[in-house]
Structure 1
Amino acid sequence: MSWYEESFGEDYLLVYRHRDNSHAEQEVHEVAKWLDLGEGTSVLDLCCGTGRHSRSLARLGCQVTGIDLSEVLLSHAQSSKEELGIRYVRGDMRELPFTDQSFDAVVNLFTSFGYFVEDEENAKVLKEIQRVIKPGGRFLIDFLNREAVKKNLIPQSERMDGDIRILEERWIDGDFVCKTIILTKEHGEKKVYQERVKMYSLEQMEAMIDASGLQIDRVSGDFKGSPYSKDHSQRMIFTGRVPTST
């Protein structure tokens, strides 16, 4: 079983509890401006998790579909008490269960890219994004900045959440940034999870996105819209569109 099939369960919600709705609201506020999202815009939240960003998009009046592979995270998304009309679907990002040109926009947030070892598998995700967007439609891919990860990686961190000790160990293995998460309860029970994301340079991402048929309009270094800097930006946020037929 691949790491991403094991790691996105109930314990994931504990480890990433700090990623709350306020972060999502702030990010979506900027995304909406960049992609011109609003009332009636059909948006796919690709790898939606618990639906934090999906709900924020829906509050703007977008017609939102959220897709994720994790049944646990989708269950949490569907349990929201807000009646926002969001459609949640389980599926693999490499083979999206939607017809061609289904959406006005696709957003892929919180480093939900680079999960696969082979470049060809990651490229499939981009080709699927292109396939399901209408001509002239928009996309956003929020990815890590390889150089910032290499420079700022914290090898180990530890914290307590109630009676659970959360130990995170991080390292670089070639083109991959890896993490081991060890959860230890007071009585000694341990659970261990792995994360492994393939890092790409700006040039590699640009080449892959271009090959998929998507057109990049802008690369930002954060959700404030700062221009991307290889040495200083924390993120690589790509925004662009599917060209219209000529």
Structure 2
Amino acid sequence: MSDWFTKSFGSDYLIVYKHRDLQGALLEVKRMIDWLGLPQGAEVLDLCCGMGRHSMALDEFGYKVTGVDLSDVLLAEAKRMDTGGKVRWLKGDMREVPLADTFDAIVNLFTSFGYFEDDAENGKVLREIDRLLKPGGKFIIDFLNPDYVAASLVPESERKEGDMTIRETRRIEDGYVRKRIAISEPGEPERHYQEQVKLYRPEQFMKMMEGTSLEVDHLYGDYNASEYDAKTSPRIILVGHKEG
């Protein structure tokens, strides 16, 4: 499953995750703006931007936004929705972003981390954030909370989207949360996808940041700015800055 993301973030992803809406992204970005404390016109990188919901919300609030993602399908959807062409969209791997620019802030949202089996590969993402941030620049990493996931995991679910049936199974094993998705339609072969995210706790993020100039200033447990609690918080939201 080392390259599961090259298959999973295709056209079916747009259907499986279509419930993620722009209004929700706007509310989350409002909170992020408070945390980042940046003036309008600041340059922001949305690393692993997906369909671009947060990138476009950041643009709406007056920032100069670049969205980077590896998926051609998701970038095409982002460009389709960005009718004014306001965001700069770029294809790239988060471990080696094809940019020499530096940014006032970088956001990595909705568990767009932990995709790789090797800690060193996941650590490369943090080093890229370090490289791409201006001195004093801010970052936000929004990740799942492993203990909360373990306590609330729904092992199986099934739902309909028109004639399409989407079945999802979820489990935690070997330090990962893993999801298998089966999509069936009348007269079509069943399609299968796998997703996995390596589970990290805050102290493991801190360990991986050693050797970078990144410093975590605050840990939140959700977008209501609740303090992070290892047992009850749904998210681990790291807000910090680059020293220098």
Quickly name the TM-score band, shorter chain normalised. Answer: over 0.9
Query: Cα distance, 1:98 vs. partner?
Result: 1.4
Q: Which letter does structure 2 place at the counterpart of 1:37?
A: L
Greater CA drift, 35-44 or 108-117: 35-44
Q: Distance in 2 between matches of 1:143 and 1:111?
A: 4
Over 3 Å counting, the alpha-carbon distance change for 1:84 and 1:36 in structure 2 is: farther
CA RMSD of aligned residues (A): 1.2
Query: Which residue number in structure 2 is paired with residue 78 of structure 1?
Result: 79
Query: Cα distance, 1:99 vs. partner?
Result: 1.5
Q: Distance in 2 between matches of 1:46 and 1:96?
A: 9
Q: Distance in 1 between matches of 2:212 and 2:117?
A: 18
Query: Which residue number in structure 1 is paired with residue 32 of structure 2?
Result: 31
Identity between Structure 1 and Structure 2 (%):
48
Greater CA drift, 80-89 or 234-243: 80-89
Runs of 4+ off more than 3 Å: none
2:225 alignment partner, SS class: coil
Q: Distance in 1 between matches of 2:231 and 2:43?
A: 35
Query: Cα distance, 1:83 vs. partner?
Result: 1.6
Greater CA drift, 74-83 or 26-35: 74-83
Say whether the 8 Å CA contact 1:55–1:84 is kept in structure 2: no
Say whether the 8 Å CA contact 1:27–1:223 is kept in structure 2: yes
Q: Distance in 2 between matches of 1:38 and 1:49?
A: 25
Deviations 1:110-136 (A, max 9, x none): 100000000000000000001100000
Query: Which residue number in structure 1 is paired with residue 116 of structure 2?
Result: 116
Q: Distance in 2 between matches of 1:42 and 1:12?
A: 29
* Number of aligned residue pairs: 243
Query: Cα distance, 1:96 vs. partner?
Result: 1.0
Is 1:151 the counterpart of 2:151 in the alignment? yes
Query: Which residue number in structure 2 is paired with residue 126 of structure 1?
Result: 126
Say whether the 8 Å CA contact 2:215–2:243 is kept in structure 1: yes
Query: Which residue number in structure 2 is paired with residue 208 of structure 1?
Result: 208
Say whether the 8 Å CA contact 1:38–1:60 is kept in structure 2: no
Say whether the 8 Å CA contact 1:159–1:165 is kept in structure 2: yes
Q: Which letter does structure 2 place at the counterpart of 1:239?
A: V
Query: Which residue number in structure 2 is paired with residue 179 of structure 1?
Result: 179
Say whether the 8 Å CA contact 2:56–2:82 is kept in structure 1: no
Is 1:103 the counterpart of 2:121 in the alignment? no
1:39 alignment partner, SS class: coil
2:14 alignment partner, SS class: helix
Q: Which letter does structure 1 place at the counterpart of 2:69?
A: D
Is 1:69 the counterpart of 2:92 in the alignment? no
Query: Which residue number in structure 2 is paired with residue 50 of structure 1?
Result: 51
Instruction: Return 5+ residue gaps in structure 2 as ranges.
Output: none
Query: Which residue number in structure 1 is paired with residue 233 of structure 2?
Result: 233
Q: Distance in 2 between matches of 1:210 and 1:61?
A: 33
Query: Cα distance, 1:188 vs. partner?
Result: 4.9
Query: Which residue number in structure 2 is paired with residue 137 of structure 1?
Result: 137
Query: Cα distance, 1:186 vs. partner?
Result: 2.3
Deviations 1:38-74 (A, max 9, x none): 4111000000011100000001110000000000100
Q: Distance in 2 between matches of 1:192 and 1:211?
A: 39
